Amino acid sequence: MVAGDSIARGNDATVPSRSFISLWADDLHDRYGSRVTVTNHSNGGYTIQDAYVALRRFRTLGNHDLVALAVGVNDAAQGMPVRKFKRLLGKIAARVENRGLDLLVVTPLRPANADVAPYVDAIRQSGLPVADVNRVWGDTPLANGINHPDDGGHRLYANVLLEAVAERIPGRAGTPASVG
């Protein structure tokens, strides 16, 4: 299951199959040969507060093995206090863990409209498994010039998530049944 913002929803990928979530699911299937089911509950403008509220309401969490949380850009753009971001990240982690699922937190890219560095640091320091897109983002172009990756950026996200599953979530990487 994926809970995230417009980037996780796939905005500005030329077609849905080129969004990072679709690419990641395809890559997991290709690498491990297992069936991958993706439920994407991402929406434009989503912050960590939105993801927290949504995850409290979802009854389908038990249908998945992994929750990918992809937020931070809108939190930065809207000026969410980093302390609140950290607190909500901890609450999300506890909820996901209480349901017996793994959590993978995706760091945001480097948008043109906000300083995401404090949120990226909070994610990195959380002790949770991290897909650190921000670390490898570099000068990857933004499709809209502000905050959405182009197809190449979505591919970069998918590659980072694939490696994060393979390296950081033992027991799931070899046989993911339900991701996303």
180 within some domain: no
pLDDT at 169 over 60: no
Alpha-carbon gap, residue 84 to 106, rounded angstroms? 18
Question: 88-128 pLDDT, tens per residue?
Answer: 999 999 999 988 889 999 999 999 989 999 999 999 999 99
Retrieve residue 26's tokens.
């395809």
Q: What is the CATH number of the domain that holds 78?
A: 3.40.50.1110
Residue 168: which pLDDT band, with cuts at 50, 70 and 90?
low
Higher pLDDT, 157 or 33: 157
The residue type at 45: G
Counting the structural domains of the chain, the total is: 1
CA-based nearest residue to 131, from 99, 98, 167: 167
Q: At CA 4, angle to CA 166 and CA 13, rounded to 5?
A: 85
148 within some domain: yes
Retrieve residue 148's tokens.
């959405």
178 within some domain: no
Domain span at residue 19 reads: 2-168
